[in-house]
Structure 1
Amino acid sequence: MTLTRHPTAESNCRVLFRPREWALFTQPRAVVGYVVTLVAVDVLLAVVGLCTTVLRAEELLTAAAVVASGAVCVEAMRRLGMPQGMVRDLLGTWWIPVVLLLPPLYALLTPIPLYLLMQYRIQRAVVFRRVFSAAVVALAGFSASTVFHALVPGPVVLLDGVAGAAGGSALISGEGIGAAVLCAVLFTVCNTVLIAGALRLSVPEEPRRTTVWDSESLLLDAVEVCVGLIVSVLCALSLLLLLVVLPPVLLLQRSLLFQQLQTAARTDPKTGLLNAVAWERVAKTELARALRTGCPLAVLIVDIDHFKKVNDTHGHLIGDQVLLGVATALNHQLRQYDVVGRFGGEEFVVLLPGADMAEACRVAERLRTRVGRTALPVNDTTVTVTVSIGVALLRVHGRDLLELMAAADLALYRAKDSGRDRVCLPVAKAVGIPVRSANDPPAEARGS
């Protein structure tokens, strides 16, 4: 649950002097240690860089021009709107020129103004997440910049009467281009690995390939690297060429954000599953296909048992993590073409195309067992939950989605009335399938 009211000054003071109430410290200990370590390393490198780097006017002008271009992109993002959750943008287009054209110190410092602008002009995100994002970009940029300047050292140059960039002449040489491509890829890989590490620590059950290594993300990374290299070369020629490259970058970013906004309109922000409207739209399509072809189909309604007690005992932030954990467990136990969504509150809905009665009960029992084995670490203890599941079959319990949902909901109430943590059918006796419970043996062992 997200609180929409603005905190008062008094509540801000209470939270400020109670570190355990900060949002960071509601995360698993591994995540807290990871974030604190990353930020501390960045601060230490920045202090050392400030003591060892000579600041030059040409470099400061280049950094200011790149940051100003990034600020224009941030303002464009604000006007279009931002989806919830992890957002892909093209700000790497502006990080890469800093990495390649300026000393490593600038890679540590330039993310700060842009992320401050994002925080106060676009969306007031949780502070530690915004700081973590800036720290990841800074550390990845510093690493790539250090490697590039070790491979291709270059002096400060004036290319056309306008202040150029440090290392600009080296960049546009054949050797410099090869090193630039290598280090731009290194920056992207480091950035992705650091983010994947945080995701892995916060949600250990999430497969690596489905978080940040999917094909679409790799394609976006490749586009970002290519555009960033183009911007770097143009900056090396003249900073005035930023005015030429800025409009196409804005157009690419707008297209990317628009696609993410469309996806966000179909998904539940807390779990990443389809929301109720999107799930219903897909379910109706699958139902029409099943009726036309004569294939079986099943609907499941999954409800977390005693979820209110979890919220009352541990707080709504932990409740949100439980929702995400259950959603992840459900997703991992289903086939690629099964359709799962969040119906509302603590209820989830699953559509099983091609599943007959035996298969639907088998899948439902597998889901129930898997969720019951999921333990969420909270401070010095763990939170475990169980689920009750109602099952309804096409043509057996109804011929349209409304009838199937009503039948599955009735079965869910039967499961809760029977003691929870079990799978039920709405008319078990009529169809000859006994009610499943947590203590029952598997269907194969009972001869069903």
Structure 2
Amino acid sequence: MTAARFTVTDRDGTAVFRPRAWPLFAQPSAVVAFVVTVVVVDVVLFLAGVLTTTLRMEEMLTGAALIASGAVCVEAMRRLGMPQGLVRDLLGAWWIPTLLLLPPVYSMIIPVPLYLMLQYRIKRTVVFRRVFSAAAVALAGFAASSVFHASVAGRIVLLDGISGAAARSVLLTGDAVLAAVLCAALFTVLNTLLVAGAIRLSSRGGPRRKMIWDFESLMLDGVEVCVGLVVTILCGLSLFLLFIVLPPVLLLQRSLLFQQLQTAARTDPKTGLLNAATWEQEAEAELARSIASGRPMAVLIVDIDHFKRVNDTHGHLFGDQVLVGVATTLTHQLRQYDVVGRFGGEEFVILLPGADMAEACRIAERLRTRVGRMALPVGEIAVAVTVSIGVALLRVHGRDLLELMTAADLALYRAKDSGRNRICLPVAPTAGVPAQARQSEVAEEQHSGEPG
């Protein structure tokens, strides 16, 4: 990357153009190579498409109408608000008609104005991520459009586009509809693979917080394909029918974003775990059930050891990767009905319904061991972290959530004062807990074999 070495300065010598300082070049070299490759391939294909495509007024009007419809959807997103993290939308309702109704080169043009609107009207984010998202949509659209036009080329004379009467005669036939469905699905798969590849490369080998494809994502992809095909057929019949299909698309997109906003309000944006307020709500509900049924329950507070040192040594971006890695490891080692959240900073809190003292200590030890085995690469070295865990048990260390949290926090301080990377139980008497239970607690702690 020779260009990354250049610096342009103004008259007083102040640097104004420093590509090496761009956020892209702070990413792993594999990410830089992947992003640059996708963008370069897009540029080459766009130039080839411009040189080989005959521009037609009807096609340009169709493209402008699809851009205008997409712009209305983007503006509606701005009014509703945008959640943090990976956001799902229904802009595919406008990508799919583009790749099916217009020559492939239009698939590389239409994402540009809509992603510019996303950047400047919705939320400003790191530029290279926005550019890559647009490039991924463009590349996937160009590939799917080329396949579709090649598959129906024998039915029409227009090898570089389908529009007007051709759309009415071709898109309503059985074989062409099947080809359209398959190519729309191909577009979705290619776009998802490109995004997933970038996420995987940028994870630096660490655990991924969330899979790109789960059951809900597959359902959303299917809905997007269906909506895109409906828009395609109506748009092929008449551009004026876009006025009929636009309101339902807006309503679907609003419902989708509203659901994501509700989820975002319950979760921590960095780790994807429950935030402190939501965790407390769910913990209170679970505590009430445990008290009513007489079942045991335990609370764990997990703290990353020397986390400030990690941030100071390797930077806050790496610290965020550590948080994500620990959160993922905790989630994978817990039972499906356990409640885990991020309590703030480097602390995590876990509720273990039905867990007695022995079970809570076994789970805590498994979490401590698994996190200790986790290693995140920084350049040519791997950084390992450890955790300290405080354990508190219902009816032994407290009878409500506040008492349990206080006891677990005291146990966590014991673990840290005893040298970290260990599990501890509270030894101070807890108000309202019988002496016999406290004696049982000490015996259980000794039986657990944990130092501290």
Shift, 1:337, TM fit: 0.9
Change (3 A) 1:129 1:422: same
Gaps of 5+ in 1: 1-8, 158-162, 437-441
Partner of 2:435: none
Task: Tell me what 2:5 maps to.
Answer: none
User: How many residues of Structure 1 are paired with residues of Structure 2 in the alignment?
Assistant: 423
The corresponding residue for 2:172 is 172
Q: Which residue does 2:211 correspond to in 1?
A: 211
Please give the alpha-carbon distance, in whole angstroms, between the structure 2 residues aligned to 1:291 and 1:35.
54
Q: Which amino acid aligns with 1:322?
A: V
Cα 1:273–1:302 shift into 2, 3 Å = same
Instruction: Kindly provide the CA deviation profile for residues 165-208 of structure 1, in whole angstroms up to 9, marking residues without a partner as x.
Output: 87553222222111111111111111222222223333445479
Distance apart, 1:411 and its partner CA: 0.5
Q: Which deviates more, 147-156 or 213-222?
A: 147-156
Q: Give the equivalent residue in structure 2 for 1:160.
A: none
1:407 partner letter:
A
TM-score (norm 2): 0.88
CA distance in 2, matches of 1:42, 1:367: 45
What pairs with 1:196-275 in structure 2 (closer than 5 Å)?
A: 196-203=196-203, 204=205, 206=207, 211-275=211-275
CA-to-aligned-CA distance 1:221-252 (integer Å, 9 cap, x gap): 11111110000001110111111100110011
Task: Return the offset for 1:338.
Answer: 0.8
Correspondence for 2:329: 329
Residue 344 (structure 1) aligned with residue 354 (structure 2): no
Instruction: Give the fraction of aligned pairs with identical amino acids, expressed as a percent.
Output: 71
8 A contact 1:172–1:236 mirrored in 2: no
1:257-281 residue CA offsets vs partner (Å, 9 max, x unmatched): 0010000000000110000000001
Is 1:382 aligned to residue 382 of structure 2? yes
Alignment partners' CA distance in 1, 2:394 and 2:388: 20
- Matches of 2:380 and 2:444 in 1, distance apart? 40
For 1:84, the aligned partner's letter is: Q
Determine helix, strand or coil for the equivalent of 1:382: strand
Q: In structure 2, what is the equivalent of residue 69 of structure 1?
A: 69
Deviations 1:367-406, CA, capped at 9 Å, x for gaps: 1111111111223333321111111111110011000000
How does 1:127-166 map onto structure 2 within 5 Å? Answer: 127-153=127-153, 154-155=156-157, 164=164
Structure 1 residues 87 and 186, CA, compared in 2 at 3 Å: closer, same or farther?
A: same
2:27 counterpart of 1:17:
no
C-alpha distance in 2, partners of 1:356/1:278?
A: 24
1:294 deviates by: 1.1
* Aligned equivalents of 1:166, 1:365: Cα separation in 2: 67
**C-alpha distance 29-357 of structure 1, shift in aligned 2 (>3 A):** farther
User: What is the CA–CA distance in structure 2 between the aligned matches of 1:359 and 1:121, rounded to whole Å?
Assistant: 51
1:30-74: CA deviation from partner (whole Å, max 9, x where unpaired): 333322222222122112212222222221111111011000000
Q: 1:96–1:232: 8 Å Cα contact kept in structure 2?
A: yes
Equivalence for 1:52: 52
In 1: Cα distance, 2:375 partner to 2:25 partner:
19
1:432 matched residue in structure 2? 442
Aligned equivalents of 1:84, 1:226: Cα separation in 2 = 27
Pairwise CA distance, 1:433:
4.6
| In 2: Cα distance, 1:175 partner to 1:385 partner | 57
* Corresponding letter in the other structure for 1:389: I
Give the counterpart letter for 2:356 in structure 1.
Answer: D
RMSD, aligned CA: 2.4
Contact preservation (8 Å) 1:101, 1:165? no
Q: Hey, what's the Cα distance between the residues in 1 that align with 2:166 and 2:273?
A: 47
TM-score by length of 1: 0.89
Paired amino acid for 1:127: V
Taking the aligned partners of 1:366 and 1:15, their CA distance within structure 2 comes to 51
User: Aligned partner of 2:299: which letter?
Assistant: V
Give the corresponding residue for 1:302.
302
Counterpart secondary structure, 1:295: coil
AA paired with 1:151? Answer: S
Quote the Cα distance in structure 1 between the aligned partners of 2:353 and 2:35. Answer: 42
2:357 touches 2:444 (CA, 8 Å); kept in 1?
no
The alpha carbon displacement at 1:14 in A equals 5.4
Q: How does 1:79-94 map to 2 (within 5 A)?
A: 79-94=79-94
5+ residue gaps, structure 2, are 1-8, 429-437
